[in-house]
Amino acid sequence: AEARVSAAAAEVDLAKIGLSKTELRAPCHGRVLAIHGEPGEHSGPQASIPLVVLSDTSKIRVRAYVEELDAPRMKVGMPANITADGLANRSFTGQVVAISPRMATKIIRSDRPSELYDTKVREVMLELSDATQLIVGLRVDVEFDANFQDENARGT
Model pLDDT for residues 85-120, shown as the tens digit of each residue: 888 888 999 999 999 999 988 877 666 676 666 678
Please report, rounded to a whole number, the percentage of residues in the chain having pLDDT higher than 70: 90
Q: Cβ of 53: how many Cβ atoms within 10 Å?
A: 14
H helices of 1-156, where? 2-20
pLDDT at 19 over 70: yes
CA distances to 47, 82, 91, 137 from 88, rounded to whole Å, are 41, 12, 8, 17
Q: Are 27 and 87 in contact (CB under 8 A)?
A: no
Long-range contacts of 86-89 (CB under 8 A, 24+ apart): 86/135, 86/138, 87/133, 87/134
Burial class (CB in 10 A: 0-12, 13-18, 19+), 87: middle
Strands lying side by side in the sheet with 60-67: 60-67, 120-129, 91-105, 79-83, 141-144
Q: Tell me the pLDDT tens digit for each residue of 48-82.
A: 888 888 888 788 899 999 988 889 999 999 999 99
**Predicted local distance difference test score (pLDDT) of residue 116:** 65
Q: What is the mean pLDDT of residues 6-33?
A: 88
Output 6 or 58, whichever has higher pLDDT: 6
**Predicted local distance difference test score (pLDDT) of residue 132:** 77
Q: How confident is the model at residue 156 (pLDDT cuts 50, 70, 90)?
A: very low
**Predicted local distance difference test score (pLDDT) of residue 103:** 92
**Predicted local distance difference test score (pLDDT) of residue 155:** 42
* 146 contact partners, CB below 8 Å, separation of at least 6: 73
Radius of gyration over every alpha carbon of the chain, rounded to an integer in angstroms: 24
pTM for the whole structure: 0.67
Q: Are 127 and 95 in contact (CB under 8 A)?
A: yes
Q: Are 82 and 128 in contact (CB under 8 A)?
A: yes
Q: How confident is the model at residue 26 (pLDDT cuts 50, 70, 90)?
A: confident
